[in-house]
């Protein structure tokens, strides 16, 4: 009996050590920290870029939560076939070309993850859309992510993902601010959870500095998202006081929610929203049957809005629809 107890204790201890070893291995990063924030230029031959268009005083900008090209399967306990990702990549590439974009801000874009068959989606879309300048901010870099929780066969595995800004105008600099963690979550949850970022890029446009702030706020915890909203507003105001500034991304809050965390942005006197005004509420989520507006473009009075819309013809490349706007500098 005593021997059985000893064997049981030893087996439990060995299992504990095995689980801890796997845990410590799994939440380690795949990349060195200096590769989490990258700024690269001339990734596409400059002869491919329409240089005459770059002299235009109008720029076209889009925000798109790409959902790593997984369509409506995003975060669902399934493993889509590679053909789905290939098809969605082609559709996304065609969309970028059709819309004749100058700048696009992506959220949930993969740089080599098991869940999306190790595509570098940033690299592929930069080439397809002829964007010479790219700023990357990795917000999720783990060797193994045990989500969706069940069954284990659909766990994400290796994850390298984040936020990207692609531009036909030079990106002179980027600064990445890490927003608050979910304080109510247990430590192991936060170890495997993505970072929420504000990616601030300085873009050279018409002899001026254009500030583009790309964000992806907390989705599941309302109190944390409210903290993120306050942090992002402070970042925006720091730059908007001096520069033409665009704040865009996935804010994970709809105006028609009770106590919506997007309200401080919509009520602010020093910014305006694109394609959102009066009784006209254009939804961006989910892409199959939109019933919430989570994705926004805001701007300050140093810019003039020429047009803005939610791009419904993007279809179900992602579970989000993109938002697009055209601006010129204010007189």
Q: Which CATH number fits domain 31-320+322-329: 3.60.10.10, 3.40.50.1980, 3.20.20.70, 3.30.470.30?
A: 3.60.10.10
* CA dist list (Å): 54 to 51, 57, 202, 259: 5, 8, 16, 42
Q: Which two tokens stand for residue 264?
A: 């401080």
pLDDT in tens, 235-253: 999 999 999 999 999 999 9
Taking 80 as the threshold, does the pLDDT of residue 277 lie above it? no
Dihedral angle over CA of 246, 252, 255, 259, nearest 10: -120
pLDDT band with cut points at 50, 70 and 90 for residue 4: confident
Tell me the DSSP string of 290-330.
--B--EEEEE-TTEEEEEEEE-GGGTTSSSB--EEEEEEE-
CA distance 284 to 251: 11
Span 160-167, mean pLDDT?
98
Q: Inform me whether the pLDDT recorded for 45 exceeds 60.
A: no
Q: Residue 167 pairs with which residues in a beta bridge?
A: 103, 133
- Nearest partner of 294 among 329, 261, 271, 270, judged by Cα: 261
- Three-class secondary structure of residue 149 per DSSP: coil
Dihedral angle sign, alpha carbons of residues 5, 8, 10, 13 = negative
Q: What is the C-alpha separation between 23 and 109, in angstroms, rounded?
A: 25
What pLDDT does 46 receive? 44
Of 5-9, 81-85, 109-113, 316-320, the one with minimum mean pLDDT is 5-9
Compute CA distances 224 → 35, 178, 185, 228, 310, whole Å. Answer: 27, 13, 10, 6, 27
Q: Is 123 helix (H, G, I), strand (E, B) or coil?
A: helix
pLDDT at 145: 86
Asked whether the beta carbons of 67 and 320 are under 8 A apart, the reply is yes
Whether the model pTM is above 0.85: yes
**pLDDT attached to residue 308:** 95
Stretch among 60-74, 81-95, 122-136, 142-156 having the lowest mean pLDDT: 142-156
DSSP line for 11-61 = HHHHHHHHHHHHHHHHTS-SS-GGGSEEEE---S-GGGS-HHHHTSSEEEE
Question: DSSP H helical segments within the chain, as ranges?
Answer: 2-26, 51-54, 82-99, 121-129, 187-192, 222-240, 263-267
> Is there a contact between 122 and 111 (Cβ–Cβ < 8 Å)?
yes
> Hey, where are the domains in the chain?
1-29, 31-320+322-329
Question: Coil, strand, or helix at residue 218?
Answer: coil
CB 110 within 8 A of CB 121: yes
C-alpha–C-alpha distance, residues 232 and 262, integer Å: 11
């Amino acid at each position: 009996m005593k021997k059985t107890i000893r064997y049981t204790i030893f087996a439990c201890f060995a299992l504990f050590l095995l689980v801890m070893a796997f845990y410590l291995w799994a939440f380690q990063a795949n990349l060195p920290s200096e590769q989490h924030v990258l700024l690269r230029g001339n990734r596409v031959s400059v002869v491919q870029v329409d240089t005459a268009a770059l002299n235009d005083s109008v720029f076209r900008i889009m925000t798109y939560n790409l959902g790593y090209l997984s369509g409506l399967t995003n975060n669902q306990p399934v493993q889509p076939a590679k053909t789905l990702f290939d098809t969605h990549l082609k559709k996304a590439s065609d969309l970028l070309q059709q819309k004749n974009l100058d700048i696009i801000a992506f959220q949930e874009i993969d740089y080599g993850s098991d869940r999306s068959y190790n595509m570098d989606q940033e690299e592929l879309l930069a080439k397809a859309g002829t964007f010479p300048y790219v700023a990357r901010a990795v917000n999720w870099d783990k060797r193994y992510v045990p989500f969706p929780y069940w069954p284990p066969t659909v766990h994400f595995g290796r994850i390298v993902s984040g936020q990207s800004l692609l531009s036909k105008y030079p990106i002179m600099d980027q600064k990445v601010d890490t927003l608050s963690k979910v304080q109510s979550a247990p430590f192991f949850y936060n170890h495997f959870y993505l970072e929420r970022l504000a990616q601030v890029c300085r873009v050279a446009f018409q002899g001026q500095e254009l500030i583009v702030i790309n964000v992806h706020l907390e989705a599941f915890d309302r109190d944390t998202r409210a903290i993120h909203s306050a942090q992002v507003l402070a970042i925006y105001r720091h730059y908007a006081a001096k520069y033409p500034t665009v704040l865009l991304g996935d804010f994970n809050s709809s105006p028609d929610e009770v106590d919506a965390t997007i309200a401080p942005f919509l009520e602010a006197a020093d910014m305006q929203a694109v394609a959102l005004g009066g009784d006209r509420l254009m939804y961006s989520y989910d892409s199959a049957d939109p019933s919430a507006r989570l994705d926004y473009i805001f701007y300050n009075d140093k810019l003039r809005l020429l047009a803005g819309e939610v791009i419904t013809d993007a279809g179900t490349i992602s579970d989000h629809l993109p938002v697009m706007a055209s601006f010129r500098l204010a007189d």
